[in-house]
Chain A
Amino acid sequence: GENVEQHPSTLSVQEGDSAVIKCTYSDSASNYFPWYKQELGKRPQLIIDIRSNVGEKKDQRIAVTLNKTAKHFSLHITETQPEDSAVYFCAASVESGGSNYKLTFGKGTLLTVNP
């Protein structure tokens, strides 16, 4: 099955700096890659996603890039703010028929933004 590796496990940055979280996946058939943010004591929430027919996607201060050849995708957060502090999870899924949707998550990155 799919295996998603995520690095680093913890990341500490100063407010205003950029943060980058990297993930690799094992199944070359995977074609949907979402990122979820989980604040302390809260539920995970989708922040951005990308499909394999797109190399990069941006939404204000966050962006995701995908390298299908290397089976690698990354989350970029610019101008970080204290409210960006949370655990970020990458995930991968194969888009197949039959309403079969298995989303495999990485182990998460704890991002701390220091004021």
Chain B
Amino acid sequence: DSGVTQTPKHLITATGQRVTLRCSPRSGDLSVYWYQQSLDQGLQFLIQYYNGEERAKGNILERFSAQQFPDLHSELNLSSLELGDSALYFCASSRSGLPYPYGELFFGEGSRLTVL
């Protein structure tokens, strides 16, 4: 158990719909990261938050948005869903917002999104 909690574990929805994925980081971790994992693309970095503020952005689509709340939990919102958005979405957390000395990312179990 990494200490990172993601909900829901599985989600099935239709094209055009909107979903929200939730993440609670490990106790004491200030930084949250969202990754998308698909079979052909591996782990794609979407976005990083540190103590409530956006700090790094990757290949996140404009249809996707995220935020980190004062209690440090984070939500990833996916809208106007397309078939290609079907993937496993991982949230991870780390103690600091830097790779060293506390750069280990602790991943949650993931939220599997299926868009039909």
Contacts and interface: CB of A to CB of B under 8 A. Distances in A.
Contacts of B41: 107
Nearest to A94: B99
A11 to B, nearest CB: 15
B83 interface: no
B48 A100 contact: yes
Contacts of B56: 100-102
Q: Which of A36, A42, A102 has the most CB of B within 10 A?
A: A102
A99 B99 contact: no
A102 B97 CA distance: 9
Nearest to A42: B109
Q: Interface size for chain A: under 10, 10 to 19, 20 to 34, or 35 or more residues? A: 20 to 34
A106 B44 CA distance: 9
B50 A99 contact: yes
The B interface, classified by DSSP as helix, strand, loop or mixed, is: loop
Interface in A50-84: 51
Interface residues of B, number: 31
A46 B31 contact: no
Interface string B55-94: 1101000000000000000000000000000000010001
A26 interface: no
Interface in B94-109: 94, 96-100, 103-105, 107-109
Given A51-B100, A102-B45, A103-B33, A44 B55 contact: no
8 contacts: A1-B58, A49-B103, A49-B104, A99-B55, A100-B97, A103-B33, A103-B45, A103-B99
